[in-house]
A and B are shown apart, each in its own frame.
Chain A
């Protein structure tokens, strides 16, 4: 299907773009109070840009624009990390230590971190998908799909491939054994293993709720992932950047 000739899609997406921008801005800026946050907002706007590029089959902004957006997010996170280290001796410390700093600062920090994550994730989402969209060159759309691509190197492929029929028997054997084992183990687990009810952490939930109400941050999820687990969130952002760089390296190597 040629998406490029569809007038409806083009017009509709062009008209919807400002609304998507508005929505993602809302999701990140109210991440402290309502469901949402930097990741969700970044994914919303990033996916929208990817859809636009799929339809128009060209780049809306050049790569360096998104690289800079991403970088700004990283630098904000870095500033927060070092500042926290300077203030309290822990990375990202002093945001809202449970029973400590003042509440306007905590709210501002949540907003700041959400914005950093929003910038970073939206930039990287576009960059990751763009690599697959413009796999062969940066100018023309060539979707990276192993089965659709016809360009192969004949000399190498004959050396590296082995005929499929040769190993078909082995694979069938593995499949049969696997099916039997999985069926048996499911039955055994259902019949013989005693079930246990997961413990609910009521005590810690009360602590989180108290902290949230103390600083008037209404979204308790963001109290957790920007609070005591903030380094996990930071590292996860690092993994995203690593992926962007990694796909660039893998794709670019000839």
Chain B
């Protein structure tokens, strides 16, 4: 399943003409990886990593903690990239790769 999402993300990243679409595809790819990481710590039938009185098996808390970091970094990257693209649009009045000399 995540392979299909990854393929869609990569295809969009390579073929998209619009820079904002490219950034969106990048975040799709990143989210696929995050999904994969969290599912790698998943154990069937286990509870959320909250300690309860009964001794129930819980899922691995480490991927969840780390992916919190990765998600926040992704958000920061996206907002910074979009700010730069808006400035680029102010300068050249286009966001299409095919219309920009520099790309």
User: Which residues does A use to contact B, with CB under 8 Å?
Assistant: 34-35, 39, 128, 131-132, 135, 144-147, 149, 151-153, 156-157, 160-164, 166-168, 171, 174-175, 178-179, 182-183, 186, 189-190, 198, 200-201, 204-205, 208-209, 212-213, 217-225, 229, 232-233, 236, 239-240, 242-243, 246-247, 250-251, 253
Contact = CB atoms under 8 A, between A and B. Distances in A.
Interface residues of B, number: 49
Contacts of B69: 225, 229, 232-233, 236
Contact of B41 (A164, A200, A209, A222): A200
Contacts of B7: 182-183, 186
A219 B43 CA distance: 18
27 contacts: A35-B50, A146-B95, A147-B95, A151-B90, A153-B90, A153-B93, A163-B99, A164-B99, A171-B98, A178-B14, A189-B3, A208-B62, A209-B58, A218-B50, A218-B51, A224-B61, A224-B65, A225-B66, A229-B66, A232-B69, A236-B68, A236-B69, A239-B72, A239-B76, A243-B79, A243-B80, A251-B87
Q: Is the interface of B mostly helix, strand, loop or mixed?
A: helix
A205 B60 contact: yes
